[in-house]
Amino acid sequence: MHEPRFLAAAVLALAAPWALAQGPDANLARNLAATCANCHGTNGNVRGKEVKPLAGVSAEKILAQIADYKSGAQPATIMHQISKGYSDDQLKLIAAWFAAQKPTP
């Protein structure tokens, strides 16, 4: 009666090391950063001057700005809420992804 559960557990136990060896989802950073496109533009290249572009900005600078939004040191309309919705690891992925994008003139 417990055989199907045991079999499923055994398959998962054997698959776990393989899944870890494959590394994180190659598109995870891009997918997380896509949520920023509404304001910061596709690939961090914003149109207009109301919102700062993120493409090509160093990851360290982006993370420092996000930390200021999270702490309330930097005033914001929505960024203080959005920045709190991500883990530190997710924010590092997002910042690195934007830093790697080419700014458009």
End-to-end CA distance of the chain: 66
User: Residue 3: what pLDDT?
Assistant: 56
Residue 52: what residue type?
K
pLDDT digits (tens, 9 = 90+) for 37-53: 999 998 999 888 889 89
| Cβ burial, residue 54 (10 Å; 0-12/13-18/19+) | buried
Can you give the pTM of this predicted structure? Answer: 0.73
- Mean pLDDT value across the chain: 82
pLDDT higher than threshold 70 for residue 13: no
Domain boundaries defined on the chain: 25-99
User: Residue 24: what pLDDT?
Assistant: 60
What does CATH list as the number for 25-99? 1.10.760.10
3-state secondary structure of 55: coil
